Amino acid sequence: MIKVSGERDQINIAKVYKAGQDHILRFWDELDYESRKKLLAQIDEIDFQLISRLAKTLGPEVKTKPSRELQCAPVIRCPSEENDVKARDEAIAAGKDALHAGRVALLTVAGGQGSRLGLDGPKGELGIGPITGKSLFQLFAEKIIALRKRYGIQLPWYIMTSESTDLPTREFFEQHNHFNMPRSKTVFFKQRMLPAVDRRGKILMSEKDEIFISPNGHGGALLALQESGSLNKIEEEGGDLIFYFQVDNPLVNIADPVFVGHHILQKANVSCKGIKKAYPSEKVGVFACVDEQVDVIEYSELTEEEQNERDEKGELVYGFGNAAIHVFSTDFLKKVLSSEQKLPYHVSFKEVSHIDKNGRHVQPRKPNGYKFETFVFDTLDFSEKTVIVEAARDDEFAPVKSNTGPDTLDNAKRLLTRMWGRWLSECGIDVPLDENGDVEGKIEISPLYALDQEELSQNVKAGTVFTGHLCLEP
């Protein structure tokens, strides 16, 4: 066993040997003081008992899908009849009351990098404004400022970062003076990172002084919320509801009172926004009842028959995808996070760059390492009451995921422009559209000018004309 000074480091080194992971110290004698310090700091962050437990679950990469009884999940649809409108109005009233009372806190998952989108930094720094180029972070900040003004509250904003995005995110907010928001009401906290392991359960090293680690999944936001003390802080400040959304969806209707209200009136543990699938085989997790429990089923777990199954109205039986927008009751989250079961870890077999026993870098051409993640929607397995509310896809869902396909930055800007174009049209302003229904030109409306179409109709100046380029700022 190598010798280190300091009681904490000695204990951590003992844990490394006890876990049978002492190969991570193979190059110790080659490391200088700073490199040793760096490696010891990483070791201090690792739960070796958890890694040992997870390594024991590793098995064949191809597993037989468990048998399950799948049924359609109930969804509160967008209003179409008188009774639906009445229920919606009741939900709006309940949601607004909760917001006015300061019961709602906001949680944004912002641990991802923008590297796949050509950005060397956190994804929240991506320029989303079609005209101004304002970032996703700024767009959300303006929505939150507008909400604080509307409801007369200091709506707290909790932002989960990762090891790679934490410092850049904090610096970005500082550079922009926190977008003129009170610093005390914007709280940053980091999610946990976990090592990847090989087929034998041995931790992989990316450098002689560095363990390969990756984020523990979006479910890690809930664990980090608790470990950082933020969950207790929310309750201490009078909050009992958490509105959860991801940083890559600029169309999210933050703290939507309809959604919050349905959660309250239905006395739900968890509520979820569902969006209609664009086509049967769309690669999105769908809501379904599994053995009578509401759950999210990955698209890869649906058979072709299930993907295409339709009801008597001709609609897809499993036609509502998970928009990754949720409301959680804080007492429910505390119950889940304190239970012995906790959120399960999902294993993925990936190509992991690493060094071999001789310290040579290896770039594998096929999967060689296991990564472990938790998923936020696994909270549904603990929920006694789950509510799914339909979100109008064109108004609330424009994820920015990659440079190709439907979920690009350009497509998100297009959908934002479409929405603002609809708002202007409803205000009586002529907005020309092309044959695809897209706006012919550019539009950008700051949330500080109008948070929604109703507010736009009150604020837009008489005689406003769209000539192909319109930017409305306060």
- Split at pLDDT 50, 70, 90, the class of 291 is confident
The token duo for 211 is: 């363990």
Backbone φ/ψ region at 59: left (φ over 0), alpha (ψ -120 to 50), beta: beta
- Average pLDDT in the 222-229 region? 95
pLDDT 10s digits, 234-281: 999 999 999 999 999 999 999 999 999 999 999 999 999 999 999 999
pLDDT the model gives residue 292: 85
79 and 126 part of one domain: yes
Q: Looking at the domain assignment, is residue 62 inside a domain?
A: no
Mean of the pLDDT values across residues 18-33?
Answer: 96
CA 41/CA 25 separation, integer angstroms: 13
Q: Let me know if residue 312 belongs to a domain.
A: yes
Co-location of 116 and 144 in the same domain: yes
Looking at residue 350, what is its pLDDT? 92
Whether residues 107 and 179 fall in one domain: yes
Residues 360 and 455 in one domain: no
Give the three-state DSSP class for 387. strand
Q: What is the pLDDT of residues 378-403, one digit of tens each?
A: 999 999 999 999 999 999 999 999 88
Mean pLDDT across 14-32: 96
Q: Are residues 413 and 392 in the same domain?
A: no
Backbone angles phi, psi at 443, to 5 degrees: -135, 140
Quote the CA–CA distance of 198 and 351 in Å, as a whole number.
10
pLDDT given at position 1:
87
Whether residue 419 lies inside any domain: the answer is: yes
Return the beta strands (E) in 319-403 as ranges: 320-329, 346-350, 354-355, 361-362, 369-373, 386-390
Mean pLDDT (whole number) for 178-206: 95
Counting Cβ atoms within 10 Å, is residue 8 exposed (0-12), middle (13-18) or buried (19+)? exposed
| CA dist., res. 394 & res. 437, Å (int) | 12
> Does 318 share its domain with 348?
yes
Q: Write out the residue range of the structural domain in which residue 355 sits.
A: 70-405
For residues 134 and 78, the model is more confident at: 134
CATH number of the domain at 111, please: 3.90.550.10
Q: How many structural domains are present in the chain?
A: 3
**Do 278 and 401 belong together in one domain?**
yes
Q: How confident is the model at residue 60 (pLDDT cuts 50, 70, 90)?
A: low
Same domain, residue pair 393 and 440 = no
Asked if the model's pLDDT at residue 61 lies above 80, the reply is: no
Residue 349 CB: number of other CB atoms within 10 A?
17
At which of 362, 380, 405 does a domain end? 405
pLDDT score for 66: 54
Clarify whether residues 282 and 368 are in a common domain.
yes
328-384 pLDDT per residue, tens: 999 999 999 987 767 889 999 999 999 999 999 999 999 999 999 999 999 999 999
Tell me the per-residue pLDDT of 95-105, one tens digit each, with 9 for 90 and over: 999 999 999 99
Contact 248, 111 (CB under 8 A): no
Domain co-membership, 126 together with 226: yes
Q: Is residue 368 domain-resident?
A: yes
Q: Which own/partner contact pairs does 348-357 have at CB distance under 8 Å and 24+ positions apart?
A: 348/373, 349/61, 350/196, 352/196, 352/204, 352/212, 353/206, 353/212, 354/204, 354/205, 354/206, 354/212, 355/205, 355/206, 355/207, 355/208, 357/23, 357/26
> Is 197 inside any structural domain?
yes
In b/e form, how buried is each residue of 217-227, taking b as 16+ CB within 10 angstroms? bbbbbbbbbbe
Mean pLDDT of 143-160: 97
What's the pTM? 0.93
- Are 282 and 137 in a shared domain? yes
Same domain, 305 and 428: no
Tally of CB atoms within 10 A around 473 = 12
The two tokens of residue 302 are: 């649906």
pLDDT recorded at residue 67: 61
What single string gives the DSSP state of each residue in 278-296? SSTT-SS-EEEEETTEEEE
Structure tokens at 450: 């109008």
pLDDT at 53: 93
Average pLDDT, the chain: 94
What is the C-alpha to C-alpha distance for residues 44 and 12, in angstroms, rounded to an integer?
A: 6
186, two tokens: 């914007």
pLDDT of residue 404: 87
**pLDDT value of position 62:** 43
Q: Is residue 180 part of a domain?
A: yes
User: 52 in a domain, yes or no?
Assistant: no
CA separation for the pair 369, 353 (Å, rounded): 9
Query: Alpha-carbon dihedral of residues 455, 457, 461, 466, nearest 10 degrees?
Result: 110
Percent of the chain with pLDDT over 70: 98
Examine residue 65 and state whether it is found in any structural domain, yes or no. no
Half-sphere exposure of residue 209: CA atoms within 13 angstroms, side-chain side = 13
In the listed set 357, 387, 405, which residue is the last one of a domain according to the structure? 405
